Amino acid sequence: MKKVDFESLIVFEDDDYICINKPPFVSTLEDRTDPLNINKIAKDYHPEAHVCHRLDKETSGILALAKSTDAYRNLSIQFEKRRLEKIYHAVVEGKHDFDGVNVYLPIETKPGAAAVRINKVEGKEAETVFFTEKAFKKHTLVRCYPLTGRMHQIRIHLACLKSPIVCDELYGGNPIFLSNLKKRYNASKNEEEEEEQPIMRRVALHALSLTFAKMDGTITTATAPYAKDFGVLVKQLEKYS
C-alpha cells in the first residue's frame, strides 16, 4: 500500500480547519478498492478531522477538512448556500475563447453508474462558469467556477461545450502525447522501446483554490500548486505552442 505524508500536503491550517493539496489517485473517503483515503490518514493527524467536501479520486488539488463539528457545520452551510468560491483548472481539447460562459444543465446520477448524464427533467440543478486562462494551438487551459457541487459536474459541462477534458475518456476526452504537440517528434529508434506513453495518465483537472469564511468571519483563500503531472502537461503545452 502506498504511503502519504499528510503533513506534507497541508497548505493552510488554523484552530478550526486544515486545507491540503490532495494528490491524484487517492480517494477522499473510504474506497472499497483501496484502503488508503484522505479521511483516514487525516484522523491520524487530528482525531476529529473530517473532510468537508469531495474530490474525485483522480482529481488533485485543494481539499478542506474541519477539526470540529461546529467548524464542519460552518463550512457545510457555505457550500450549501454558495457563499464560498471554488476555482478549478482544466486542460481541454480544442482552442476556445471562454469569457464567462455559463453552463446551467441539470445532472442525473444513477446508482452504480460510472458516468453522470444531463437530464433536464429529473436531474439536479448544476451550474458552472468557464473562462479561458490560456489558449494553445490545439488545447486550452480553462478556469472553472462550479457554483454547485454535483458529481463530475465540470467534466460533463465541458463536454457539453464540445471541449472535453484531456484524458477524460468517460466524457469524450482523448489521451495527449508529446507527438501531438511536437512537430518534429521522433520516436525512439530502439525497437525494444515501449510504445509512446501519454503525458498525463488521468483526467487533467486540478482544484486550484477555495475561498471561504473562517469561524471568526474573516475570509481566507487556500491555494494548491499544480500536481507534478498537471504542471508538466501545462509546461509542455507552453513549450510547443
Number of H helices, E strands in the chain: 6, 12
What residues act catalytically? 56
Q: What gap in Å lies between CA 85 and CA 80, rounded to an integer?
A: 12
Using CA of residue 154, residue 53, residue 2, residue 207, what is the dihedral sign? positive
Q: Are 52 and 22 in contact (CB under 8 A)?
A: no
Q: Which residue has the cell 467536501?
A: 53
Strand partners, 86: 210
Q: How far is CA 200 from the centre of its chain?
A: 14
